[in-house]
Amino acid sequence: MALIVLMEDDAATRTLVTSVLKKDGHEVLATENGVHGMIMAEARHPDLVISDVQMPEMNGFEVVAALRRNPALAATPVILLTSLQERAHMRIGMTTGADDYITKPFRPGELRDAVAAQLNKRQRQAELQSLAIDQAVTTALQEQRAHLIKLYEKRLAAELSERWPTGQGGAADERFDSASVLFVDIPHYAGVAEKLDASELTDLVRRFYGSANDTAHLFGARFIQFVGEGLLAVFTDDTNTRTVNHALRAARTALGLVESSRAIAQHLATSYPQRRLPPFDVHVALNTGAVTLTQLEDPLHGGKQTLPVGDVVTATILLQKQARALGWPIAASVATLRSVTGAVRTGRRALIDLPGRSQSLDAAELVGMAQPAESS
C-alpha cells in the first residue's frame, strides 16, 4: 500500500493513527516531533505526511513549509492534525500548502477518508481526464448552441431513459450508500420577478432552469426535482457512469450552473439596462452520503412520486442557504471534496453551523476544476 510518515507528540494519538493505518495495510513511520519526521521524509520520500500542528522543535506549519521548499518532497500531500482550539489558525496551514486537516478528537473512519482522498489524487486526475464531454459541455453552456444539445441528447437518450425514474416501475426503494446531492437556488429571484412581466420572466426561467436541467442530465444525474425556485439533483455511480465518480460529475454540474448564471446575468443587463434589476446569481451546495430514492403512492389520485430521503439531502439544502450568507457561489462538504481530491480547486474553508442541527458541517468553497494531468 502506501508509505506514510506520522509526526505526533501525543503518544495516544500516535498509537491510534498508526494502528488504524497499519490495519489498512499501510507502512507507517511514526515520530514524536517534526525534526525527526523531516529526516524520515527526506530519507524515504513517503506517499503521505500526517503531522500534528503543535509539536516541540518544529510545528506542523513549519513541517509543511519545509516540505514545500524541498523539490523532491514538494508534491507530497500533507494532512494536519489540529485541536478545536487551533481551528481558527488553520488558514495558515492551508495557505502554507497543507492539503487537508482533521480536528481532534476524530473517528477512525474520518482518518481513513482523509488518507484515502490524498492517496487517490492520481485516480481523480484520471477520472477528470476521462470526462471527455467536459469541454464540449462548457462550450454548449457558453454559446447555447442547439445542435450541440441535440448531439448530447442523441448520445445519452438511451442511457437516461433506462435509468430515469418514471414512476411506472416497482414500489421498491433505491438505496445508495454513497451519492452526491446538489441543490441550487436563485437568491434574488423574487426581486427580479417583480421587475419583469410574465413573458420576460418565463423567458428567464426557461433560460436558466432549462440549462440547469440539461446540465444535470448531461452529467448523468440519477434524479432531478424542482423544490420551490430551486433544483435538487442526486448523482450516483452505476454501470453507465463508472468511469467518473458521482461527486466529480456533481462538481462539474455545479460549476456549469454558476457559469450559466453569469451568462444570464449578462443577458439581463444587456436586455433591460434601465430596470435596475437585482443581481442575478446562484448559490450551489454539494454534499455526499447515504441517500434513498423512495416512491410515494397517492391512493386518492393514483400515480407515484419519487422522493430523495436522507440526512445528506436536508443538510445540502441547509448548506446552500449558508453558502449564500458566506458569499460562496459553490459550497461543498468535505465529504464531497475528499471524493474528488486532485480533480478540483478549492478556496475558503469553514466549519458551518446549520440551523436546527447540533453538529456543524465542515465545508469549503469550490472554485474550479483542476487541469488534467498531462500524459507522459
Output the domain CATH number for residue 262: 3.30.70.1230
Both 32 and 148 in a single domain? Answer: no
The number of distinct structural domains making up the chain is 2
C-alpha cell at 1: 500500500
pLDDT reading at 178 higher than 60: yes
Q: What share of the chain is helix, strand, coil (3-state, %, to 5)?
A: 45, 25, 30
Determine how β-strand 48-52 pairs with β-strand 78-83: parallel
pLDDT value at residue 35:
95
Both 267 and 325 in a single domain? Answer: yes
Mean pLDDT over 93-109 rounds to 80
Mean pLDDT over 339-353 rounds to 91
Q: State how far Cα 277 lies from the chain centre.
A: 31
Both 113 and 137 in a single domain? Answer: no
Strand, coil or helix: 363: strand
Nearest residue to 281 (alpha-carbon basis) of 263, 267, 262: 262
The residue type found at 50 is I
Nearest residue to 231 (alpha-carbon basis) of 317, 325, 332, 352: 317
Both 337 and 237 in a single domain? Answer: yes
Both 142 and 32 in a single domain? Answer: no
For residue 114, what are the domain limits? 3-119
**C-beta of residue 5 within 8 angstroms of C-beta of residue 37:** yes
Both 156 and 252 in a single domain? Answer: yes
Tens of pLDDT, residue by residue over 263-302, are 889 989 999 988 889 988 899 999 999 999 987 765 554 5
Confidence band for 166, pLDDT divided at 50, 70 and 90: very low
Both 282 and 192 in a single domain? Answer: yes
**C-beta of residue 99 within 8 angstroms of C-beta of residue 76:** no
Q: What is the mean pLDDT of the chain?
A: 82
Whether 282 is in a domain gets the answer yes
Whether 376 is in a domain gets the answer no
Whether 228 is in a domain gets the answer yes
Both 58 and 176 in a single domain? Answer: no
Whether 185 is in a domain gets the answer yes
Both 214 and 328 in a single domain? Answer: yes
C-alpha cell at 356: 436546527
Whether 255 is in a domain gets the answer yes
pLDDT reading at 376 higher than 50: no
CA–CA distance, 248 with 39 (Å, rounded to integer): 36
Mean pLDDT over 65-79 rounds to 92
Tens of pLDDT, residue by residue over 107-162, are 999 999 999 999 887 667 666 666 544 555 555 544 544 444 454 444 444 443 44
Both 209 and 353 in a single domain? Answer: yes
Confidence band for 347, pLDDT divided at 50, 70 and 90: very high
CA–CA distance, 101 with 324 (Å, rounded to integer): 24
pLDDT reading at 9 higher than 80: yes
pLDDT value at residue 209:
81
Both 81 and 139 in a single domain? Answer: no
pLDDT value at residue 90:
60
pLDDT value at residue 210:
81
Both 140 and 27 in a single domain? Answer: no
pLDDT value at residue 122:
67
